[in-house]
Chain A
C-alpha cells in the first residue's frame, strides 16, 4: 500500500491549487477591478443634493426685490419604481398612462439608478395630496427646492430670470460645477451675479437598504457638505421710483427711462417699455410665457435702455458745444447766424448771439457751424485730409463721454452704439471721397450716430457732475457688509475741462425755464431743472421723443434720460415724464392739481393725440 501514500501530495496539490485560484480571483475583483466599488456605492448610497438658497436681491431702501419661494419636485429612481400600481399612481398625480410611460422612459434614459425629476414644480395643493400617499410608491420621493418669487411686478428686464441649465451649457467647461436640472441665471442680474447668488451646493450621502429605505447618513455625515446660501445683493434701484417710471410708461408705450444718481453712478430706475411682470418667468409656466413674450411683436424681452440705439438728436448739441470749447473754437459768447444754409432750424427763435440762446432754442445752423469749426480747422491744405484729422480728434473727445463704447454696466447685453471716425467714412466713401458737407448731420446728432438711453442718462450725469461720471451700475453691494464693486467707484473724467461745463449747464437751465423744455419745469417746488430736448427722426413713423435732465442744478441728485418712441418732439412726452420722475424722486409725491392732470395724461398716453 505504500505506493498509494504518494497520492496525499496529489490531494494536497488540488486543495492548494483551488485556494490559489480563489485568492487570485478575489484579488482581481477586490483590488484590481474598481467597478464593484462603484456598483456598491450606487447600490447603497443615495447622493442627495442640498440646494442652497439663492441670494436675495434688495432695492436701495432695503425693500425685497427678489425672494425665494419653495417648490416641490416629484423625483423618481426608475430601478426602485418597478413594483408600483401604475394606474393608482397616475390617478394620484393626475397624469395619463401614456404620459407616465413617456416620463419613466425619459428618466430611464438618464439613469436607471439615479434620481431624476418626474414632475416638476408641483403646486402646494398637488404637493399636499401626493406627499401623503407616496409611501405606497417606492422609488418616488419629493424634493423640495426654491424658485424665485417677487412681491412686485417691476424691473423684470434688470432682474432677469433663472432657468434650467441647457444641454449645451452642460457641455461647456465654464459651467463645470453644474449638473443636469440645475438652475442658473439666464439674463439680467441673475446672470451677471450668478457666481455670488448661486451659493454652494451641499451634498448629503444617505445610505439606503435593498428596498430603497433610508438607513441614516453615510459615516455620520463625514463626507457630507453643507450648502452655503448665496450672497444677497443690494441694488441701487429705488423700487418706488421704478414703479412710478413703469406706470408712466404703461399702456403699451415703447421706450426707456434711465435715472442715475450722478454723485455715485447708481441707477435709480431702469425701465424698458413695454415691460412685463417678472413672475411670468418663474414657476411652471416659464416656458409658455417666455414663448409668448418672444413672439410679441412689441418685443418686450428686448432690454431697450441697454440694447436700443438711436441717433442722439438735438441733445448731441451739448456735447458739440463742450468739445468745441475744449478745442478753443467756441466761447460762450460766440454767435452764429441761424442762416439755414445747409440745415433748417425747427424752431422760430431770436438770433443766437451766444451759446446760451443757441442751446435754449436748439438752433440747428448754430451747431452745424460749431461742429464745422471743430472738424474743419484748416490744419491741412487738403480739405479731405483736414476733415479726417478734425473728425478723429472729435471722435476721441466724444468717446470720453462714454459714447461708442461699453459703459460696463453690471447687466448683460449692453450695446456700444457708434460714433463715426475717419476710417468709418473712408470705408463708405473711399478715402478723399468725403468732406464736411458729407458728414454735417452728425453736428445735430443725426447721421451715422447711435447711442443707447443708458449712455444718454450717463451723459446727463456727466454734465451734472461738471465733467466726470461713475460707470452706471445697478448693484451697490454684494453679501453682508458688502462694498460697492471697485470698478464703480472710479471717477471717469471726460477730455473736456470741467470749466467748460457751466455755460452748457446754464443753457440747459434756460431750456427748461423758457426754451424747448418748458414742460419739464419744477418751479412750483422750487427746483431748478437743467435739461435738453431731443427729437429722434424716425423714417418709419412719428419721431421719438427724447429728453435728458438733471436736478437740482446745484448739487444734482438725479440725472435722467427718457425715450418715448413715436411720441413726437422731445417736449411732448419725454420732458414732462422726466420732470414727473424728478419730482417724485426728490419729494416722493406729485403736487398740485395741474401736475396731477399732467401725470394722468402721461400715464394714459394722451400725448399721442397731440401734434408739435
Chain B
C-alpha cells in the first residue's frame, strides 16, 4: 500500500504556496530594511541580512525535503525524544553560552551564524504535548494528566526565562488555544481574557480606584438582584474577591516582580512618553514609520524612516514597519490577510487529521504562529507591549525561519500521510 501511495498528491500545496509567498515577501522587505541608498548593494549580497536570509531560505528548502523524506510516524514516536533533547540543549545553552545582549540563549556556530535553541523548543514542545494528548483518554481526564501536560508545556519556557528571553517564553502561552480545542475548560480562556482586561485597566486606573469601582458595581448588582441570586451569594463574593486579588496582584507584579525595562514596555502602551529614549522611542518611531506610509505607501526602497535607521531592529522584530511605510495600508492589509489565510488553512488541515496527535499538533502550529503575529504586529502599532519575538516567515533570522519552517512542515508531512493513518481518536 505504501508503495502506491503518492505523497505529492496529498501534500497541501495551498499552505506551501502561502509559505513561499510570505518568505519571498519577507526577504524583499528585509532588503528594503537594510537598503542603503549611498551604498547600493545587491539583494543577494551575503554581507547583508537580505543575502544571509536567502541562504537561510535555501537551507529551509533542504530542511523541508528532509522533513518529507523522514518516516511520518517518527514525529509521533520520536516526539518525547526530540523534546528532551531540546530541553538538554536549552539547559546546556543556559549554563555554557556566553551572554549576548544580556541573554544566555545563543549557540555561536561561527561569527555570523548563531542559533537560538529556544526557537526550536516551540516545535519540540508542540510535538510532545500532542503526543501526550493522544496517549491519554480525553474523556476521562484527571488532574494527574492535566498536571503532566502543564508540566510539559511549562518546562521549556521556565528555562527560557532563566536564559533571559522572556519574550520567547511568553509564546508558550499559545498552547492554551490548542488545549482549548481538545477540551480544556473555556473558563481558563475567559479568565485569561479577563486578566488581560483587568491588566490594561490597572495601567489606566490607580488600583484603589479600580478596586472601589469593582466593589461598588458588584454591590449594586447584588443589591438589585438579591432575591434571585442569594443562593449563589458565596460564588459572587468569591468572584469579587478574585477580581480584587487580580487587581492588586497585577500592580504588585508590575511594580515588584518585573524588571524596570519590562515595566516600561508595558507602561509605554498607555503612555509613549514613559522612557521616551528607550522603549518609548521604539514604539514612537515604529508608529511614525508605519503611519507615514499612508494608503499606498512610499514605494519599494523609498521608506525614509526604515532606510535611515529611525526604526530599531527593522529587519528582525520591527520588519512590519518596513511593510507599513513602503507599502502603506494596502501592504499591511495583504500581510494581515496572508496570515489570516495561513491560520485558517492550518486549522482546516488540522481538522482533517484522523489522529488526535495530528490535530493537536496542527492547532499548536496555528496557535504559535498566531501568538507571534499578535504580539509582533501589535507592538509595532502600539497595541501590544514590546516583546522581542519575530514575525513568522518575515523577520530576518535563521533560527526563526528554520524553526517556523520545521514547525509548519512537520504538520504538512503528517498531513501528507493522513490517509495512511487509521486514526486513534
Contacts and interface: CB of A to CB of B under 8 A. Distances in A.
23 contacts: A11-B177, A11-B347, A11-B363, A12-B343, A12-B344, A12-B347, A18-B374, A23-B332, A26-B324, A29-B381, A30-B324, A30-B328, A31-B295, A36-B288, A36-B290, A36-B291, A36-B292, A39-B291, A40-B325, A41-B292, A43-B305, A207-B304, A215-B308
B234 interface: no
A611 interface: no
Contacts of B363: 11
B177 A19 contact: no
Interface stretch (A2-10, A117-125, A129-137): A2-10
Contacts of A349: none
A39 B180 contact: no
B343 A26 contact: no
A43 B294 contact: no
B294 A31 contact: yes
Contact of A15 (B344, B383, B425): B344
A31 B329 contact: yes
Interface residues of A, number: 40
B339 A30 contact: no
Contact of B378 (A22, A23, A216): A22
Contacts of B325: 40
A207 B308 contact: yes
B37 A215 contact: yes
B183 A4 contact: yes
Given A26-B324, A26-B332, A1 B138 contact: yes
Interface string B344-371: 1001000100000000000100100010
B347 A209 contact: no
Nearest to A208: B308
B261 interface: no
Contacts of B337: 19
Residue with the highest number of chain B CB atoms closer than 10 Å, among A5, A16, A37, A43: A43
B182 interface: yes
A43 B285 CA distance: 9
A30 B297 CA distance: 9
Interface size class on chain B is 35 or more
Nearest to A213: B308
Contacts of B308: 44, 207-210, 215
A17 to B, nearest CB: 11
B330 to A, nearest CB: 9
A45 B138 CA distance: 61
Interface in B286-333: 287-295, 304-305, 307-310, 324-325, 328-329, 332-333
Interface string A213-236: 001101000000000000000000
Contacts of B37: 215-216
Contact of A40 (B182, B304, B377): B304
A175 interface: no
Given A1-B138, A18-B374, A216-B38, A27 B288 contact: no
Given A26-B324, A43-B310, A15 B180 contact: no
B319 to A, nearest CB: 15
Contact of B287 (A12, A19, A36): A36
B148 interface: no
B224 to A, nearest CB: 31
Contacts of A481: none
B381 A22 contact: yes
A4 B305 CA distance: 47
B181 to A, nearest CB: 5
A11 B180 contact: yes
A514 interface: no
A25 B383 contact: yes
Given A19-B340, A216-B38, 12 more contacts: A1-B139, A8-B351, A10-B186, A25-B381, A30-B290, A30-B294, A30-B328, A30-B329, A36-B288, A40-B288, A211-B309, A215-B37
Contacts of B150: none
Given A11-B347, A19-B336, A22-B381, A45 B290 contact: no
Nearest to A38: B292
Interface of B: 37-38, 138-139, 177, 180-183, 186, 285, 287-295, 304-305, 307-310, 324-325, 328-329, 332-333, 336-337, 339-340, 343-344, 347, 351, 363, 366, 370, 373-374, 377-378, 381, 383, 425
Closest 7 CB pairs of A and B: A36-B291, A40-B292, A209-B308, A44-B304, A29-B291, A30-B329, A210-B309
Residue with the highest number of chain A CB atoms closer than 10 Å, among B186, B328, B374: B374
A35 interface: yes
A171 interface: no
Interface of A: 1, 4-5, 7-8, 10-12, 14-16, 18-19, 21-23, 25-27, 29-31, 33, 35-37, 39-41, 43-45, 207-211, 215-216, 218
A483 B259 CA distance: 78
Nearest to B374: A18
Contacts of A4: 181-183
A96 to B, nearest CB: 29
Residue with the highest number of chain B CB atoms closer than 10 Å, among A12, A26, A44, A215: A26
Contacts of B181: 4, 7-8, 11
Given A7-B181, A26-B381, A43 B329 contact: no
Contacts of A215: 37-38, 307-308
A27 to B, nearest CB: 6
B336 A35 contact: no
A432 B294 CA distance: 81
Contacts of A26: 290, 324, 329, 332-333, 336, 381
A40 B105 CA distance: 35
Nearest to B298: A40
B383 to A, nearest CB: 6
Given A37-B294, A215-B37, A22 B287 contact: no
Nearest to A215: B308
A44 B310 CA distance: 8
A30 B285 CA distance: 14
A33 B329 CA distance: 12
A35 B332 contact: no
A526 to B, nearest CB: 77
A215 B303 CA distance: 13
B294 A11 contact: no
A232 to B, nearest CB: 40
Nearest to B294: A30
A4 B373 CA distance: 25
A208 B336 CA distance: 31
Contacts of A40: 288-289, 291-292, 304-305, 325
A4 B304 CA distance: 49
Contacts of A21: 383
A411 to B, nearest CB: 49
A36 B289 CA distance: 8
Contacts of A30: 290-291, 293-295, 324, 328-329, 332
A45 B304 contact: yes
B221 to A, nearest CB: 27
Contacts of A210: 308-310
B366 A11 contact: yes
A29 B374 contact: no
B68 to A, nearest CB: 26
A18 B384 CA distance: 12
A15 B340 CA distance: 7
Nearest to B305: A40
Contacts of A7: 180-181
A54 B365 CA distance: 70
Contacts of B351: 5, 8
A11 B304 CA distance: 38
A1 B425 contact: yes
A218 B302 CA distance: 10
Contacts of B329: 26-27, 30-31
Nearest to A5: B351
A44 B325 CA distance: 13
Contacts of B307: 215
A216 B302 CA distance: 13
